Each structure stands twice: as C-alpha cells, then as structure tokens.
Copies of this chain bind each other. A is one copy, B any other.
Amino acid sequence: MSDQADKPRRTVFFVSDRTGITAETLGHSLLTQFDGIEFRPVTVPFIGTKDKAESAARRINEAAREEGARPLVFSTLITDECRAIVKAADGMYLDFFDAFIGPLEKELGLTSSHAAGRAHGVFDAETYTRRIDAMNYALANDDGITTRHYDRAEVILVGVSRSGKTPTCLYLALHYGVYAANYPLTEDDLEDGKLPPGLDQHRKKLFGLTIDPSRLQDIRQERRPDSRYASIRQVNYEVREAEVLFRRYGVPFLNTTTSSVEEIATTVLHSAGLQRRFY
C-alpha cells in the first residue's frame, strides 16, 4: 500500500455562486496546514438556482455516506436560499462571508450588498480588455522578439534561457494586467558584459531572474538532451555571467530555483513598486 492509501481521506467541497475560485483559494490555504490526511477536492461552481443547490447538497450527503465522515464544505454562497439548502446537508459548512461580513459592516458603517460572485464574476469590458491587451503584449514581446515596444513595458524581465521569464510575464499579464516584456541574455550579451542596447535605456524597468546551474541543467537537458546548451559548463558560465551583469548594472534579481510562479510574480511586482490590480 502506498503512503496515500494509509492516510485517512476526507472529501472537500468548494461551493460557489460563481467560479468557486475564492472558495478554492481560501480552502486550499487552510488545508495545507493539515498533514496526515488526504483531501479529495470537489468544486461545485455556478450554484445559482435552488435545483443546483439541491444537487450540491445531494452530492455532499453521498460523500458523507460513502466516506463515513462528513465532508468539509467551503462556501462563498451569498443568496440565502441556496445557502440554506447546502448548509443543511451533512457536511461541515465553513462560510467565508459569515465570518467576516458582520464585523466589516460594523467597522465600515455600511450594509453589504449580498450580491453574488462579485470577485470573479462581474464582467467589466475595460478590465477584460486590459488583461487581454497585456497578454498579447507579453506574447508579442516574449523572448526578446523585439525591443521596440519597451516604452510601453511596466517591467522587463531579463535572464538566461529557461530561467522562468515567460511564465512570469504571462502570469503578470493575465492576473494583474501588467505589461511585462522579457529578454533572454544571449551568449553575445554575456561575453560583452554589457546590457544590450535595447535594454540600457530602460534600466529602471529591468528585473533579473537567475537560477541554480544544476536545476537549469535539468530543465535544459529535458529540452535538448546532451546538447552544448544543456552542458553543465555552459550553464555555469551563463548563470555566473548573468549575475555579474545584474550586479554591475544594479538590476534587482531573484533566484527562481525554488520559487513558484506566484512567488516570482509577487517579488517582481513588489520590486517594481507596482500595486496589483484586482480583476
């Protein structure tokens, strides 16, 4: 038997009027605090009608019967009718709004609107357009394709090939509508020991990504096995020279070896003094 099979199991429902992303994010944060139990996640989005709420309640009850323990139910349901139905099911109902809305109403001297799914729900053509534009910008300015549009960039990531630039740019664009370009430091750039001409004038927007050579070698090896590109010698050289360049020009940089995309993106935003936009 595997380790997984030895652990007790518990089904976890994420129930929402809309996408369920808020319930998932919050529930996931809490569950990561518990080891020794295997959680089985089930997202039940778009619970907008009595019928759908009843169907969700049935699924919760079934899971309780099958597992012999009541499921955890993380909910961001807002409408009273749907909430009452899901709450009555045989689960442990954890209500994100209940816990905080009361104290906030008191503090702000306002009544909450009880409107469903505002966090990832209400469509706003302007913010949608901004995110899509930022994504198109990231795609068009990926991998140093061109440096002509750097005036428009809010941040320009620099680093050797496979240091994490593209996913970070796309994440910044899709999440925060940030215009992020990226430029891969080539061997020529590194030999010169100078910032490439297209970058030098945008020095304040630069942020460097670096990575441990051994991890970089693994990534490159996967991509082009046994190539010069993936050799430890080449990788060592590139990483060392890139860091020399960052230090020489005072470019802030982050070692991405053990960072998630979220952490890299957060560090970049923070360093660039950009406040996140919420969508």
Contact = CB atoms under 8 A, between A and B. Distances in A.
A35 interface: yes
Interface string A11-40: 000000011111011101110111111000
Contacts of A97: 29-30, 33
Interface string A33-58: 11111000111011000000000000
A174 B276 CA distance: 18
Nearest to A110: B34
Nearest to A132: B167
A94 interface: yes
Contact of A19 (B96, B110, B125, B263): B263
Contact of A118 (B32, B94, B128, B267): B32
Contacts of A236: none
Contacts of A200: none
A94 B139 CA distance: 38
Interface stretch (A188-196, A224-232, A253-261): A253-261
Interface string A260-276: 11110111001000011
Residue in A36, A99, A260 with the greatest tally of chain B CB atoms within 10 Å: A260
B259 A41 contact: no
A119 interface: yes
A253 to B, nearest CB: 15
A103 interface: yes
A76 B42 contact: no
Nearest to A134: B167
A200 to B, nearest CB: 29
Given A25-B22, A170-B174, A112 B34 contact: yes
Nearest to A170: B170
Interface string A194-217: 000000000000000000000100
Contact of A278 (B28, B118, B215, B279): B28
A19 B170 CA distance: 17
Given A24-B276, A28-B278, A34-B108, A258 B123 contact: yes
10 contacts: A29-B97, A29-B118, A32-B122, A33-B112, A33-B115, A33-B118, A36-B110, A41-B278, A72-B104, A121-B263
